[in-house]
Amino acid sequence: MADNYDEFDAEPEDEGRRRFSIVGILTALIAIAAVFVVVMLVYVLVSDNNFITDRFGASEAEPLPTLVPTLPPVPSPTEIQEIVEVPSGDGGSGSSDVVLPPTHTPVPVEATSTPVPINTLQPTLTPSVTPTFPPPTPTRTPSPTPTDTPTPGPSATATATFSPFPFTKDQNSPQYLQNFANNAGCNWMGVAGEVFNLEGNPVAPGEYVVHVWDSGIDQRVSVGDAPAYGPSGYEQFIFDAPRVQDHSIQLETSNGTAVSQVYRFQTRASCNQNLIWFSFVQNH
């Protein structure tokens, strides 16, 4: 009997322990849930952006649409028509019918004309760059042939003739030639020529003399003494080699009267130009 009593006595104690463990678990779960709720409330109060306010508060933040009353269009003065009393059909009842103004028909708006495009300016062509070439090599300009500077001769009475003197040099004088009248060749330099009358014929020998001076000489030679140059030829030796120097020349009569003006000529330092040809012609 004693053993059975102890067995029945132990069962209530085990059941009490089971109940206590279940109650402890539930209490712990409730405590955890309470802590979670408190944490969520704090999060909601502190944070502006969270899923709870986005889920439940967005609809409250949206503003309600405002209804704007639409007023009927006010007719223009031209559309307002007077009310015309029209006698009713019962004849003298005194009542009138209201005639409504005609419906306003809007005038169609003409289509706006499409602007015609203005001609587009074509782009200006840029001229190509013209290449610059170097200037051509300058051509050597030959030195001018020295001309005779006439020296005024004796005064003479002015007439209506070609020259105040009866003789002038011909248009080709002076000419620069190579010595051909003697055998001296380049070892000679001088002046020579002829004298012609009005008809273009040589004058008589000894009738005139040629006076040559300056640059170390002063000589007179008789016309006709050098037939190698022609019937009225003359020759005056100047130097034994060609060189540059200035001289004066004039035609005179045999008694020393000047019959031409004084002409100036210059010799040249060339064996091909060591003979200066100088002729006189009569003009009146």
* pLDDT one-digit tens code per residue, 6-15: 544 555 566 6
Tell me the pTM. 0.45
Q: Is 189 helix (H, G, I), strand (E, B) or coil?
A: strand
∠ Cα 93 99 101 (to 5°): 165
- Residues 248-252 have a mean pLDDT of 98
Residue 253 CB: number of other CB atoms within 10 A? 12
**Looking at residue 50, what is its pLDDT?**
60
Q: What is the Cα–Cα distance from 101 to 84, expressed in whole angstroms?
A: 10
**Looking at residue 75, what is its pLDDT?**
55
**Looking at residue 22, what is its pLDDT?**
85
Exposed, middle or buried, 153 (CB in 10 Å: 0-12/13-18/19+)?
middle
Q: What is the Cα–Cα distance from 8 to 15, expressed in whole angstroms?
A: 12
Task: Note whether 277 and 268 are within 8 A (CB).
Answer: no
- Residues 206-216 have a mean pLDDT of 97
Q: Where are the alpha helices (DSSP H) in the chain?
A: 2-46, 51-52, 58-61
Domain 167-282 has CATH 2.60.40.1120: yes
**Looking at residue 110, what is its pLDDT?**
58
Positive or negative, the CA dihedral 254, 255, 260, 264 is: positive
Say which residue, 192 or 148, is predicted with more confidence. 192
Q: What is the Cα–Cα distance from 189 to 276, expressed in whole angstroms?
A: 8
Residue 207 CB: number of other CB atoms within 10 A? 14
**Looking at residue 30, what is its pLDDT?**
93
Say which residue, 225 or 107, is predicted with more confidence. 225
Predicted confidence (pLDDT) at residue 160 exceeds the cutoff of 50: no
Q: So where are the chain's domains?
A: 2-57, 167-282
Q: What is the Cα–Cα distance from 167 to 280, expressed in whole angstroms?
A: 6
**pLDDT per residue as tens digits for the range 20-70:** 688 888 888 999 999 998 888 888 777 766 666 566 554 444 555 555 556
Predicted confidence (pLDDT) at residue 100 exceeds the cutoff of 70: no
Q: What's the full length of the chain, in residues?
A: 284
